[in-house]
């Protein structure tokens, strides 16, 4: 992690650049929820109860063993029931309040914590733990986070699945188009708490970099450098629950 002096200097540069932004886009991953107590994917080295997450969070995994997949998602719903947004989520709401409709938050997370914190212009590109989708009639229902049956069925009799984008599945077209547009149009992209390994989400970073000329300034907020770092103009290395509020504070000081 960066020394306090390095982080201080980088925070000042980031705040000065952000203060002049016309359009702001943010891409978040599991790291932004880590300080709320939601486990990240890489921390569990991509495993859940000995299963590779790519195998459990996939249509093949669901076909093979729907009960196992629902155990995985019921366990995550139970975890998210016990957590709340952290200061990093709230800082992103403050940034949104300043830029209004010139702000877009794109999240890979399915924990709903940005929505609970009050984020409005939010694109949940990988779906949500709160919603189920019927494998038969395709009905989508927001069921909150109560625990569902081990094998929940729709009123039409068919099996329910989480309304989540699994590996090897396409992202919802309208949401993905909006996310690409927001990345292309922004002049500052904050990349927060993502290993930038999963595609196409990670491609939003080069899209922003090469977007509307002269291309966005990319500011990475993470504990460590990642796949995104080669695109980053500024790196703020520390816990996002601490770094984001400091960035908002610096921003405020610049405009007072």
Task: Tell me which H or E stretch contains 127.
Answer: strand 127-134
When asked if residue 229 is in the footprint of ligand BV8 (CB under 6 A), the reply is no
Q: Residue 71 interacts with ligand BV8 (CB under 6 A)?
A: no
* Helix 87-99 with 240-255: angle, nearest 10 deg: 30
Both tokens of 36, joined, read 């709320």
Q: Under the criterion CB under 6 A, does residue 128 sit at the interface with ligand BV8?
A: no
Residue 199 known to be catalytic? no
165 binds ligand BV8 (CB under 6 A): yes
Region from 77-85, 98-106, 148-156, 179-187 binding Zn ion, contact rule CB under 5 A:
148-156
For tokens 């709160």, the residue is: 130
Q: Least distance from C-beta 203 to ligand BV8, angstroms?
A: 10
DSSP 159: B
> How many residues at the interface with ligand BV8, by CB under 6 A?
34
If contact means CB under 5 to 8 A according to the sort of partner, which of ligand BV8, Zn ion, none does residue 223 touch? ligand BV8
Q: Is 226 in the site for ligand BV8 (CB under 6 A)?
A: yes
Catalytic site residue from 89, 126, 155, 199: 126
Residue 136 in the binding site for Zn ion (CB under 5 A): yes
| Of 16 and 137, CB closest to Zn ion | 137
Stretch of residues binding ligand BV8 (CB under 6 A), selected from 8-16, 98-106, 172-180, 239-247: 239-247
Cis ω before 204 (30° cut-off from 0): no
User: Which of 169, 212, 253, 254 is in the footprint of ligand BV8 by CB under 6 A?
Assistant: 169
Residue 218, classed as helix, strand or coil, is strand
In this chain, which stretch among 158-166, 171-179, 196-204, 212-220 interacts with Zn ion, using CB under 5 A? 158-166
Burial of residue 142, with CB atoms counted within 10 A of its CB: 0-12 exposed, 13-18 middle, 19 or more buried:
exposed
Q: Which residues contact 13 (CB under 8 A, 6 or more apart)?
A: 234
The residue count for the chain: 256
φ, ψ for residue 242, nearest 5 deg: -105, -40
Residue 40 touches ligand BV8, criterion: CB under 6 A: yes
170 contributes a contact to ligand BV8 by CB under 6 A: yes
DSSP structural state of residue 213: T
Task: Say if CB 204 and CB 27 are below 8 A apart.
Answer: yes
Binding site for Zn ion (CB under 5 A): 134, 136-137, 154, 156, 158
- Show which residues are catalytic: 126
């Amino acid at each position: 992690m960066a020394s306090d002096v390095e982080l201080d200097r980088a925070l000042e540069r980031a705040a000065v650049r952000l203060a002049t932004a016309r359009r702001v886009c943010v891409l978040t991953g599991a790291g932004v929820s880590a300080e709320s107590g939601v486990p990240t994917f890489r921390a569990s080295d991509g495993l859940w109860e000995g299963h590779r997450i790519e195998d459990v969070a996939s249509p093949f995994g669901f076909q093979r063993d729907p009960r196992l997949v629902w155990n995985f998602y019921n366990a995550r719903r139970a975890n998210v029931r016990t957590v709340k947004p952290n200061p990093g989520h709230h800082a992103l709401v403050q940034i949104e309040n300043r830029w209004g409709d010139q702000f877009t938050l794109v999240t890979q997370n399915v924990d709903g914590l940005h929505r609970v914190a009050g984020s409005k212009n939010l694109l949940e590109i990988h779906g949500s733990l709160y919603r189920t989708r019927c494998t038969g009639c395709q009905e989508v229902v927001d069921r909150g986070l109560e625990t569902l049956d081990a094998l929940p069925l729709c009123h039409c009799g068919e099996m329910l699945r989480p309304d989540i984008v699994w590996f090897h599945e396409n992202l919802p077209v309208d949401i993905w188009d909006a996310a690409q547009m927001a990345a292309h149009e922004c002049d500052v992209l904050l990349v927060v708490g993502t290993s930038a390994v999963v595609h196409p989400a990670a491609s939003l970073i080069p899209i922003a970099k090469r977007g509307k000329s002269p291309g966005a300034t990319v500011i990475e907020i993470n504990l460590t450098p990642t796949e995104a770092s080669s695109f980053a103009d500024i790196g703020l290395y520390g816990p996002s629950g601490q770094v984001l509020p400091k960035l908002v504070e610096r921003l405020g000081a610049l405009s007072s």
